[in-house]
Structure 1
Amino acid sequence: MKLSIVAPFHNEEENVDEFFNRVLPIIRAESDSIEVVCVNDGSSDTTLAQLRGWREKEPVIRVVNLSRNFGKENALTAGLDHATGDVIIPMDSDLQDPPELIPQMIEKWREGYDVVYARRTVRNTDTLAKRMTAVWYYRLFNFIADRPIPDNTGDFRLMDKKVLGEVKKLGESARFMKGLFSWVGFRCTAVEYERPPRHDGKESLNFRNLWRLALDGITAFSTVPLKIWSYIGMGVAGIAFLYGLVIIFKTLILGIDVPGYASIMVIVLFLGGVQLLSLGVIGEYVGRIYLEVKKRPHYIVDPEDEQGSRR
């Protein structure tokens, strides 16, 4: 069994040494054939220099240096494209994905499972707002998506090489990796763990990036947001029809003069808001179509560090 670890790095200079000091002994105890594919995602600190230094000491380390910051999903895609193992484990470089869980994952793989994902049971390191939004996002995604994703899971998982082969065939530009991993299927199981805090440094994913990733996930795996506006349109039309009957009844039957300015303004503003919201949803999907038809590569590799191909 050849074991591949895939880890994106973005400004993780405080964590590089600890990452290798913890990961390498664990995976060496599991296999005689290993590789650690490290993707430098446009770091502006000393991360790249440290990775190169470790590569000089440890030949099992491979450095994939991207030409700029392409984002975590694309960096992870680059690492998976360069992994050559029979078993592939993507994980975060900040050590919130504990490498001590790897032997348990491999044991599940030996039992016959193709995918072993790590499920977080405790997320005390996250803020209350982040925990609550994560819960509601997983519920919303699994309610509307064609293929649900396991709740409280990230990219930290074990995949057999046949699973990775199918993931590589999925070429969309909006890379929501958790959704792609789930979409390909195969025989899956979970191992549970308590999510530890970052070893050091500051998390690079901010609210804006998380919001963008959440929208990418929903629009990439569901068309429900588009369909729902048909029902909203029918509902608004039904309300307008009923309101029209009320006005006709008051005017023709009861002889009551119905003031028009206020009611017309409310109706116009309401319908305008509904139309703008619907256009916004359509715009999200059209924007993703625009990105897909351009067929730009997911990432560009600096050939000085890795002879791998560009995709």
Structure 2
Amino acid sequence: MMDGTLSGISVVVPVYNEERSLSILVEKLIAVLRELPNRFEILLVNDGSQDGSLALLRSLSRANREVKVVDFRRNYGQTAALMAGIDHATNDIVVMIDADLQNDPADIPRLLAKLEEGYDVVSGWRRERKDSELKRNWVSRIANRFISRVSGVKLHDYGCTLKVYRRSVVSGIRLYGEMHRFIPIYAEWQGARITELPVTHHARQFGASNYGMERIFKVVLDLLVVMFLRRYFAKPIYLFGGFGLISIIAAFATIALSILLRLFAHISLIQTPLPLLAALLFLVGVISILLGLVAEMLVRTYYESQGARAYLVRELINFQADPGSTVQEDI
């Protein structure tokens, strides 16, 4: 809803081997949320935990009617867990928070208050992180600056799970790999108003982080996918066709150079690799253009088979509504 008022709140918590922190987290969440005037639910998504997390989740759900559990058949990763939480959320506001107690539930009311100012996304910023300075903090700062520069969405902390969204800007998003950190970018595509707020960050109390340095490479590759989808999803021929035309032009330039060398430097065509390079460039160019045409057909198939449109409407003003339809679309 865009009228500045909040209704129900769905808190989404991905859980993977967090047996020792769950009871504390749920207790803190319930204490904070019951102080708010909004109805709420807590969606705990068990991402194939191998400890006693599932048994504890069952117990917590029996003791508290607001606690709901989504249990995966196996470990699918944090992105899939957050997506499942969004898919099963029933309220208008979605709050995401980690299960390891490093995010503080006491920050949720501040984020919600900021959302009421007219924003669609309020992202937590762990300005004072309690992690390893070299292994986590330094790498994270570099990654966040890189993502902000490439995406154009200026946030200090993409990796902070503690974020608040209006469900209308995330309900249609499909995420894969490590793309959960890019949800604000997807929301910005839909015209979402985004801001961030410093939040408390605690040192990890139990266990160890499930992330390794290989995550950096996954994030970079996922960012490439995100930027491709942002710029070329609707018109992939611009990318593939553009590259193909450049390659074909380079092929003609290469063969022209080889002819000039033959005429003025008396270098035979069989004495230089330029003709072979020209043929290769021409072939690559033709294949790229054909790929672009195939991609164009796939995009059209997607839109037409899904009944999807290449645009999103925030609001219709002064339109006569058909019976059973709504005048305002909050997308």
| TM-score normalized by the length of structure 1 | 0.69
Quote the residue 2:96 is aligned against. 90
Residue number among 218, 221, 226 corresponding to 1:217 in the alignment: 226
Residue number among 245, 250, 258 corresponding to 1:247 in the alignment: 258
Provide the C-alpha distance between the structure 1 equivalents of 2:62 and 2:28, rounded to a whole number of angstroms.
18
Quote the residue 1:298 is aligned against. none
CA contact (8 A) 1:149 1:182 kept: no
CA contact (8 A) 2:42 2:67 kept: yes
- Quick one: structure 1 residues 49 and 149, their matched pair in 2 at CA, closer, same or farther if it must change by over 3 Å? farther
The aligned amino acid for 2:246 is G
Quote the residue 1:70 is aligned against. 76
Provide the C-alpha distance between the structure 1 equivalents of 2:259 and 2:72, rounded to a whole number of angstroms.
67
Provide the C-alpha distance between the structure 1 equivalents of 2:40 and 2:164, rounded to a whole number of angstroms.
14
CA contact (8 A) 2:91 2:167 kept: no
Provide the C-alpha distance between the structure 2 equivalents of 1:72 and 1:185, rounded to a whole number of angstroms.
25
- Quick one: structure 1 residues 197 and 238, their matched pair in 2 at CA, closer, same or farther if it must change by over 3 Å? farther
Provide the C-alpha distance between the structure 1 equivalents of 2:204 and 2:282, rounded to a whole number of angstroms.
46
CA contact (8 A) 2:83 2:175 kept: no
The aligned amino acid for 2:248 is A
CA contact (8 A) 1:123 1:131 kept: no
CA contact (8 A) 2:254 2:275 kept: no
| Deviation string, structure 1 residues 222-267 (Cα, Å, up to 9, x no partner) | 3278634433333343344334333333322x35234735524982
Q: Secondary structure at the match of 1:260?
A: helix
Provide the C-alpha distance between the structure 1 equivalents of 2:79 and 2:147, rounded to a whole number of angstroms.
18
Q: Once the 2 structures are TM-superposed, how far is the Cα of residue 64 of structure 1 from its aligned partner?
A: 1.6
1:230-309 alignment, distance < 5 Å: 230-252=241-263, 254=264, 256-258=266-268, 260-261=270-271, 263-264=273-274, 267=277, 271=281
Task: Indicate the percent of aligned positions where both proteins have the same amino acid.
Answer: 24
Name segments (4+ residues, structure 1) moved above 6 Å. Answer: 272-275
Greater relative CO, 1 or 2 (CA 8 Å, sep 6+): 1
Q: Once the 2 structures are TM-superposed, how far is the Cα of residue 90 of structure 1 from its aligned partner?
A: 1.5
* Matched positions, count: 279
Q: Once the 2 structures are TM-superposed, how far is the Cα of residue 89 of structure 1 from its aligned partner?
A: 0.9
CA contact (8 A) 2:15 2:45 kept: yes
Quote the residue 1:17 is aligned against. 23
| Deviation string, structure 1 residues 159-182 (Cα, Å, up to 9, x no partner) | 3xxx314532x2646484504433
Q: Once the 2 structures are TM-superposed, how far is the Cα of residue 40 of structure 1 from its aligned partner?
A: 0.9
Q: Does 1:164 align with 2:143?
A: no
Q: Secondary structure at the match of 1:45?
A: coil
Q: Secondary structure at the match of 2:19?
A: coil
Quote the residue 1:307 is aligned against. none
Moved more, 71-80 or 202-211: 202-211
- Quick one: structure 1 residues 216 and 151, their matched pair in 2 at CA, closer, same or farther if it must change by over 3 Å? farther
Provide the C-alpha distance between the structure 1 equivalents of 2:36 and 2:57, rounded to a whole number of angstroms.
23
Residue number among 190, 209, 227 corresponding to 2:238 in the alignment: 227
Moved more, 236-245 or 62-71: 236-245
Structure that is richer in strand per residue: 1
1:41-52 alignment, distance < 5 Å: 41-52=47-58
- Quick one: structure 1 residues 113 and 134, their matched pair in 2 at CA, closer, same or farther if it must change by over 3 Å? closer
| TM-score normalized by the length of structure 2 | 0.65
CA contact (8 A) 1:89 1:157 kept: yes
Residue number among 124, 131, 135 corresponding to 1:118 in the alignment: 124
| Deviation string, structure 1 residues 262-305 (Cα, Å, up to 9, x no partner) | 52498279749967x969x98xx79x98xx89x9xxxxxxxxxx
1:55-66 alignment, distance < 5 Å: 55-66=61-72
CA contact (8 A) 1:35 1:62 kept: yes
Provide the C-alpha distance between the structure 1 equivalents of 2:261 and 2:218, rounded to a whole number of angstroms.
53
